[in-house]
Chains A and B, each alone.
Chain A
């Protein structure tokens, strides 16, 4: 039996981890209630006189989860600039030589062509995906507020400029929902895959904050 030597390193701070789980929870609620708002598939059929307020309550959950999501996005942007090294925006974007190399390395890694050493922070491919996800989150937030406050003059102005009307905004909002479903599926799979392949404890890292690297250097690039 082969023995591996792992060293435990601190990767993610508590605020970062809490934000992650708020994202997970709010996105789950948003996707479920959002799809329900598109197609209310369970209803209070033929019961005039009940007072369970199904759709109104689901919409409330959607709006409340939207605000929570917005709060988490705000914290995430804050951590981009004021978090620890692994949490900062510059750590995982292919904007320097180190990360450009890592970006290509990550692609080869996921294609089983050439494995690369896990680093303490995110690889550059993940960092790029997170930036795209952030930008799409902004579209979701703007279109969401436009749909939520249709009579507000300012939202009407921005909504018209960006989407050209309520129905188009609803359409955009609906389609980007599928990106978030896609993202969640890939994200969970990749996390488990990395854990299985490299034993770095990636899944538990987002709970405990620590990762295990079998290199005796704190910085592995």
Chain B
């Protein structure tokens, strides 16, 4: 500790934890929690986002729902059930009209009137259409609520879409990921709690504090990329050495997220440090355009005569072959023509 810092009376030597506690006390004192009433709607999803959120630590889920916010409706953690739960939903919607945060988890199916997801006999589309207009803002947690996720992958049998496709006129913050890091979600909530406004987002509606930079640019294996040291296949010597996973399909260079910086749930791990490349789960349509996950580029489906499917490379090779073949054929027919007809044909040229 330097002398100048010791003189700094504003330096309270705050740890991260006590800072958050301080925020909580301040928020309670200001009565912020009154207006912070998130309703968590679960639609087509696996509850993985909630599972991830339950393991959050800054703040932990207990502190979040008991001290920081008033969580009035959440299918997984609420005490009420059945009619009572649905009654709570209507009650708090009326009470906090225009003030509550609506958090959506899971995609919303739209095909056939949205019958593929129903809660309490009502479709997800209906519930969202009822809850969204009265909210202050909507937070879409996870890739499904943000962009449709796995349900929306081709051929998208239930017509699943993200919240942004259905709701207009309300600020929508997307916190994608499969699951998203709880830090990104809680950061968004606490940002709103602290500053009474939503964080700055990119063109995809993702907060830039968490999704402003590519994974590739903060990756701990980046030095191996720049040096040209790559894992050629899983389990080889390079893999054991912890080299770059680019050649086994890592999508870090195409994916915006804070994974390498904040990692997950205090265990200091994330997929790349565990030895598998990024699969690009925070990007829209990642099930379609990031697969196969262990290949550099997606498969290209070229509707050739027999409906054959080739990878981009093999298409390129075919183009090169056809080109070479066409050139060879053209040159050969010129030679044959000359052999058959002799050499004095050039004078026959006519104008156009």
Taking beta carbons and an 8 Å cutoff, which residues of A are in contact with B?
2, 38-40, 42-48, 50-56, 101-102, 105, 110, 112, 114-117, 150-151, 153, 156-157, 160, 164-168, 170-171, 174-175, 177-178, 181-182, 185-186, 189, 193, 197-199, 220-221
Would you list the 3 A-B pairs with minimal beta carbon distance, nearest first? Answer: A54-B228, A166-B254, A56-B226
Nearest Cβ distance between residue B292 and chain A, in whole angstroms? 12
Instruction: Give every chain A residue within 8 A of B256 (Cβ-Cβ).
Output: 150, 166
Q: How far is the CA of A154 from the CA of B298 in the complex (A)?
A: 26
Instruction: Give every chain A residue within 8 A of B255 (Cβ-Cβ).
Output: 166
> Known: A2-B344, A150-B214, A185-B323. Contact between A167 and B289, CB under 8 A?
yes
| 8 residue pairs bridging A and B, Cβ less than 8 Å apart | A105-B352, A112-B334, A115-B345, A150-B256, A157-B203, A167-B289, A175-B316, A177-B316
Cross-chain contact B290 with A167 (CB below 8 angstroms): yes
**Contacting residue for B349 out of A38, A42, A44, A117, CB 8 A:** A117
> Known: A117-B351, A150-B256. Contact between A167 and B298, CB under 8 A?
yes
Give A175's nearest chain B residue, CB to CB.
B312
Cross-chain contact B226 with A198 (CB below 8 angstroms): no
Not counting A153-B202, A171-B312, a sample of 4 additional A-B residue pairs whose C-beta atoms are within 8 angstroms of each other reads: A117-B352, A167-B289, A175-B315, A197-B346
Instruction: Give every chain A residue within 8 A of B337 (Cβ-Cβ).
Output: 112
Q: How far is the CA of A174 from the CA of B283 in the complex (A)?
A: 19
Cross-chain contact A45 with B238 (CB below 8 angstroms): yes
B27 within 8 A of A: no
Give A56's nearest chain B residue, CB to CB.
B226
Instruction: Give every chain B residue within 8 A of A114 (Cβ-Cβ).
Output: 350
Cross-chain contact B203 with A171 (CB below 8 angstroms): no
Cross-chain contact B324 with A174 (CB below 8 angstroms): no
B320 within 8 A of A: yes
Give A160's nearest chain B residue, CB to CB.
B203
Q: How far is the CA of A54 from the CA of B246 in the complex (A)?
A: 14
Give A41's nearest chain B residue, CB to CB.
B247
> Known: A46-B238, A48-B241, A171-B298. Contact between A178 and B352, CB under 8 A?
no
The residue in B255, B324, B346 that gathers the most chain A C-beta atoms within 10 A of its C-beta is B346
Instruction: Give every chain A residue within 8 A of B227 (Cβ-Cβ).
Output: 44, 50-56
Cross-chain contact B247 with A39 (CB below 8 angstroms): yes
Nearest Cβ distance between residue B211 and chain A, in whole angstroms? 10
Q: How far is the CA of A52 from the CA of B254 in the complex (A)?
A: 25
Nearest Cβ distance between residue A29 and chain B, in whole angstroms? 18
Cross-chain contact B229 with A181 (CB below 8 angstroms): no
The residue in A45, A117, A186 that gathers the most chain B C-beta atoms within 10 A of its C-beta is A45
Cross-chain contact A151 with B212 (CB below 8 angstroms): yes
Instruction: Give every chain A residue within 8 A of B333 (Cβ-Cβ).
Output: 112
Give A196's nearest chain B residue, CB to CB.
B334
**Contacting residue for B297 out of A105, A117, A170, CB 8 A:** A170
Using a CB-CB cutoff of 8 Å, which residues 311-342 of chain B contact chain A?
Answer: 312, 315-316, 319-320, 323-324, 327, 330-331, 333-334, 337
Instruction: Give every chain B residue within 8 A of A174 (Cβ-Cβ).
Output: 297, 312
Give A55's nearest chain B residue, CB to CB.
B228
B277 within 8 A of A: no
Cross-chain contact A167 with B254 (CB below 8 angstroms): yes
Using a CB-CB cutoff of 8 Å, which residues 253-296 of chain B contact chain A?
Answer: 253-256, 280, 283-285, 289-290, 296
Cross-chain contact A168 with B247 (CB below 8 angstroms): no
Instruction: Give every chain B residue within 8 A of A40 (Cβ-Cβ).
Output: 228, 230, 246-247
Cross-chain contact B320 with A182 (CB below 8 angstroms): yes
Nearest Cβ distance between residue A43 and chain B, in whole angstroms? 4
Q: How far is the CA of A44 from the CA of B243 in the complex (A)?
A: 11
Cross-chain contact B350 with A116 (CB below 8 angstroms): yes
Cross-chain contact A115 with B300 (CB below 8 angstroms): no
Instruction: Give every chain A residue within 8 A of B297 (Cβ-Cβ).
Output: 38, 167, 170-171, 174
Give A185's nearest chain B residue, CB to CB.
B323
Cross-chain contact A47 with B334 (CB below 8 angstroms): no
> Known: A54-B227, A165-B254. Contact between A178 and B316, CB under 8 A?
yes
Cross-chain contact A110 with B330 (CB below 8 angstroms): yes
B225 within 8 A of A: yes
**Contacting residue for B283 out of A105, A166, A175, A186, CB 8 A:** A166
Using a CB-CB cutoff of 8 Å, which residues 175-223 of chain B contact chain A?
Answer: 202-204, 212-214
Q: How far is the CA of A150 from the CA of B315 in the complex (A)?
A: 27
Q: How far is the CA of A153 from the CA of B214 in the complex (A)?
A: 13
